[in-house]
Chains A and B, each alone.
Chain A
Amino acid sequence: MDTAGLEAIARECRVQIIRMITHAGSGHPGGSNSVIDILVALYFGKPLRLDPKRPDWPDRDRVILSKGHAVPALYAVMSRAGFIPESQLTTLRKLGSPLQGHPDRTALPGIEAATGSLGQGLSIAEGEALGLKMAGSAARVYCILGDGESQEGQVWEAAMEGPKLGQPKHPLDNLTVILDYNRIQLDDFVAKILDIEPIVAKWQGFGWPVQEIDGHDFGQIQKALDQAEATKGRPSFIVAHTVKGKGVPWMENNPEWHGKAPKPSEAITAIRDILGVTEAAWGEYLTRNSATRAIVDELAALAKK
């Protein structure tokens, strides 16, 4: 798919992220919107080998969202890819919904591992990459780490092990790790809490080839994913520089929006910002776009509750 197509999907997904978090009344919009372009690039640009009709297909590619709090972004791409009906997105975080507040593998086919207790996803990804190699599968594993998450010790156990595990017979060159480097964690800026720099030198020091990209530039994401796949003999690491809350100017780079749901009225403004429509043109836009109109009406109704 071309860049314009991916950008259009990413806008749709950002709208869905704001929509579902607002309906839930809680969640993490900032980190969801920083990682969404990476997920869109994987699910629709790459695209991953996936079949929503066979979520347990042994040779499917795997995405492990280690920063599990950004799961609304994953639900948005999974919905777009056919794993979840769009109508189900508004059940996020509600009693009985498979769309748990953090990923639950047993509740929702297409989720590869329970994550959200930070620092655990990369170890699982390494094990899965090794297991796939042992089974002779060509499937690839993608693990998405958070920057704040990189303060967890288990991440560095896995960092040390990744390039060595399975050698020499089954090196983990089927594993690509992507750091969503949005520079903000729950309490404050990462650099103020516990700086993870020099992050490139750290991963290189542990033996990983590291690429640095703009995590909102589909051309760069695509190229880096291809280069990682072409790297043989060891797993690859991509540092994706991102903006927390990307797409909603007043949420961008603001620690306030790490883990807070917008009010319905704020959500409608956020959606208009994501779609790049001026206030003056909004009414006319909605008459022409019935899907957006339905989402906005639903949010307006929520405000009256």
Chain B
Amino acid sequence: MPAKATRAAFGEALLDLGAKDDRIVTLDADLSKSTMTVAFAKKYPDRAFNVGIAESNMIGIGAGLALAGRIPFVASFACFLVGRFETIRISVAYTGANVKLVGTHVGVAIGEDGYSQMGLEDIACIRALPNIPIIQPADELECKQVMAYAVEHQGPLYLRLTRQNLEAVCPADYRFQLGKWLRLREGGDVTVIASGGTVWNALEAAKLLEADGIHAEVINAACIKPLDEAMLLASARRTGHVVTVEDHSIVGGLGGAVAELLSELAPTPVKRLGVTGFGESGDAKGLYAKHGLDPAGIARSVKKALGK
């Protein structure tokens, strides 16, 4: 499969699933061309609602539609969507509305637009709510699997999608399951857990490490909530070292979730790789290098964590 942005895979999946299930509707706040719901809106104009630049209202309307039996996909940039946290907290989570929240343009990888457009704290916010699973697919195949799951899942969930193209990492026979991670590479020296746009880089880093005689296990953690507790504990106990890699703040994201779980159940040193401080404008490659999320940076941090 050629590289594809998960937002693009999301848009294609909507068309496919929308043809089979007329309960599916979309909501946008003037970003449908960016979130890629636009093709669905063209094909199903009576089921696509662009409510203007008013995200709180969009989320609330989504909750109401869900309460009346529709399956709304409510999409915007992750920062603008989750920025309306209080509406998500009460109108969606506490109300128990079957709303599919879709945050696109996550991380510093969006590059030139700069920090105000980057979703960097969205996982931390949504993780704190009791009943919203958080899923971040790593490639087109996984995104389409996750979309099929999202339609079946009863209750709210949060999908975290990239603007940038992602190389295929999942095998063709992969099937997404909530709370299950995918081991992409086996290794006994260190467990590298990545999610979304950083999974490919983690795999590339493992190749660099292999050349230095370090055998890294690489796990694709599409499910950030709930974690795959069994796989995490088994791998951490086996390798004794865990490194997390994500295009999100190192506070409260995948790394935070992994560290919290391990500290309670299997204390293991955890190195969290991610974004520190605010993001900034620049090219995506340069930003990944700056935050140590490129293959060389990941390999460097893994070696340091192993004391090598």
Contacts and interface: CB of A to CB of B under 8 A. Distances in A.
Contacts of A129: 64, 68
Given A135-B69, A157-B57, A160-B54, A127 B90 contact: no
Contacts of A97: none
A106 B155 CA distance: 12
Interface string A120-132: 1011111111111
A105 interface: yes
A112 interface: yes
Nearest to A104: B94
A120 B87 contact: yes
Contacts, number: 120
B97 to A, nearest CB: 8
B67 interface: yes
B225 interface: no
A167 to B, nearest CB: 10
Contact of A127 (B46, B54, B62, B89): B62
Interface string B30-58: 00000000000000001101011010111
B69 A154 contact: no
Interface residues of B, number: 32
Chain B interface helix/strand/loop/mixed: helix
A123 B61 contact: yes
Given A157-B57, A165-B49, 9 more contacts: A58-B69, A105-B94, A119-B56, A123-B59, A123-B60, A123-B61, A124-B63, A130-B68, A161-B54
Interface of A: 58, 104-106, 112-117, 119-120, 122-132, 134-135, 137, 153-154, 157-158, 160-161, 165-166, 169-170
B66 to A, nearest CB: 8
B65 A127 contact: yes
B127 to A, nearest CB: 20
A131 B67 contact: yes
B61 A126 contact: yes
10 contacts: A114-B94, A116-B90, A125-B64, A128-B67, A131-B70, A157-B51, A157-B52, A157-B57, A161-B54, A165-B49
A132 B25 CA distance: 13
A127 B63 contact: yes
B52 A120 contact: no
